[in-house]
Chain A
Amino acid sequence: MAAFVVGGLFCVVGQLLFDLTRLTPGHILSGFVVGGGILGGLGLYEPLIKFAGAGASLPISSFGNALAQGAMMEAARSGVIGVLTGMFELTSTGITAAIIFAFIMALIFEPKG
């Protein structure tokens, strides 16, 4: 239930931004990633995931959170340079999956558009 409501609220915010402002999908997407990163940096996103599960971990804001968490974790371990090396540590699964699945789909469907 919490997952449904919280995840739905994320979508409502996105849809309202799309309908009521002239922001493009690119702007809204980046905004969610940055917003998730800021919330993650402030330590507010993890409690939200604990509360809502996939409702908070599935939206793109979770990607921003994961970028921030990875950077902070690695920074704590190996200093400032860790901000750069750690950023993709937690997100590599998502990025690699996107590339591999896109590759397979392109092989099957020969996209034209």
Chain B
Amino acid sequence: MAKMSNQKVGNNSILFITPPFLSQTGVVIGPKEGEGPLGADADLVCQNLSLQEKSFERAERSLMEEACYITLKKGKLKKEDIDFFLAGDLLNQITVSGFTALSLQIPFLGIYGACTSLAEGLGLAGILLSGGFGSRVLAATSSHNCSAERQYRYPTEYGFQKPGYAQWTATGAGAALIDTEGPGMRITSFTVGEIVDMGITDVFDLGTAMAPAAATVLHSHFTELQREPNYYDLIVTGDLGQVGKQVLEDLLQRKGYNLGQLYDDCGAMLYYQHQQVDAGGSGCACSAIGVLGHLWRRMQKKELNRVLLVATGAMHSPTTSLQGETIPGIAHAVSLEQ
């Protein structure tokens, strides 16, 4: 029996021999995100946070379902054309993804990666398709300001005061169609990160808690694939926000990388300063809106030919936080190339 050629490089990275294509996207966003700088690049902007549903959890389901159906419609595909549905969100037991999978009736694998869900979904889709286990995968993620605030912080009616370094959970959902055939952006590599925990316990300081994981996975990516940062037109993190972005830049500087204009963060891009979101956006929707909405348009216009997405996640739960446990950070990197 012929040995499968090894696509693993180093400890963390996978370099796909037959890279699948990110071939279509669908992005649905909330009203505040619609008024932000990236609002024009979404497929649908919702007029209010409740989406006429009786709960915010149901509203978030509508966001993800809508993003999936828009993607299928844009790709002129039916549900039956998709081999696997990969999805993750921030709510307990990833219920938004589960209910969306119920609606889609596509074989479903849930992703539990907090705000890395988009990168993890794209990477796992790459593994499935590059490994020959199907020809099309739909990957989706979502977050909703009110459902996340309620679960992780305080009841929304409470009107809780936040410290200035806190972020604003973005409302929105994004879906990506990954296909063995183009056209689209090739998913060329996937660097799987390790958990990094620097002992942060403050649930409002997620940017600082996640930035070290991003620095670690970027270092692995550059050294294992022997790529310099300027190999990419843009390196973008998911939801570090203004504070975490600064921390990551400092950490990378110490490792000898100076990204400068090459680097940005979706959470930091998502809102105008006058929208009063403190340190920027957070949540799965940040990378979905940033990459599948805004950057996807720029990639289609060939303004960007090589993009590295480094989505970061905070793997704490409300229970562990109340018990005083630290916030474990994670980050995965996925490269998209023309």
Residues of chain A whose beta carbon lies under 8 Å from any beta carbon of chain B:
18-19, 22, 25, 111-113
Q: What is the distance, in angstroms, from A32's C-beta to the closest C-beta of chain B? A: 15
The answer to whether B146 touches A112, judged by C-beta atoms less than 8 angstroms apart, is yes
Cβ contacts under 8 Å, A111 to chain B: 155, 157
The answer to whether B55 touches A112, judged by C-beta atoms less than 8 angstroms apart, is yes
The answer to whether A112 touches B56, judged by C-beta atoms less than 8 angstroms apart, is yes
Q: Is B92 an interface residue (CB 8 A)?
A: no
Q: Is B74 an interface residue (CB 8 A)?
A: no
Residues of chain B whose beta carbon lies under 8 Å from any beta carbon of chain A:
50, 54-56, 146, 149-150, 154-158, 160-161, 163, 201-202
Q: What is the distance, in angstroms, from B154's C-beta to the closest C-beta of chain A? A: 8
The answer to whether A113 touches B202, judged by C-beta atoms less than 8 angstroms apart, is no
Cα–Cα, bound, A110→B280 (Å): 30
A-B contact pairs, 23 of them (CB 8 A): A18-B161, A19-B163, A22-B201, A22-B202, A25-B154, A25-B160, A25-B161, A111-B155, A111-B157, A112-B50, A112-B54, A112-B55, A112-B56, A112-B146, A112-B156, A113-B56, A113-B146, A113-B149, A113-B150, A113-B155, A113-B156, A113-B157, A113-B158
- Specify the main secondary structure of chain A where it touches its partner: loop
Q: What is the distance, in angstroms, from B36's C-beta to the closest C-beta of chain A? A: 22
Cβ contacts under 8 Å, B150 to chain A: 113
Cα–Cα, bound, A112→B146 (Å): 9
Known: A22-B201, A113-B150, A113-B156. 5 other contacts (CB 8 A): A18-B161, A19-B163, A25-B154, A112-B55, A113-B155
Q: What is the distance, in angstroms, from B209's C-beta to the closest C-beta of chain A? A: 13
Q: What is the distance, in angstroms, from B334's C-beta to the closest C-beta of chain A? A: 34
Cβ contacts under 8 Å, A112 to chain B: 50, 54-56, 146, 156
Q: What is the distance, in angstroms, from A47's C-beta to the closest C-beta of chain B? A: 31
Cα–Cα, bound, A25→B158 (Å): 11
Q: What is the distance, in angstroms, from B228's C-beta to the closest C-beta of chain A? A: 39
Cβ contacts under 8 Å, B146 to chain A: 112-113
Cβ contacts under 8 Å, B161 to chain A: 18, 25
Cα–Cα, bound, A111→B154 (Å): 13
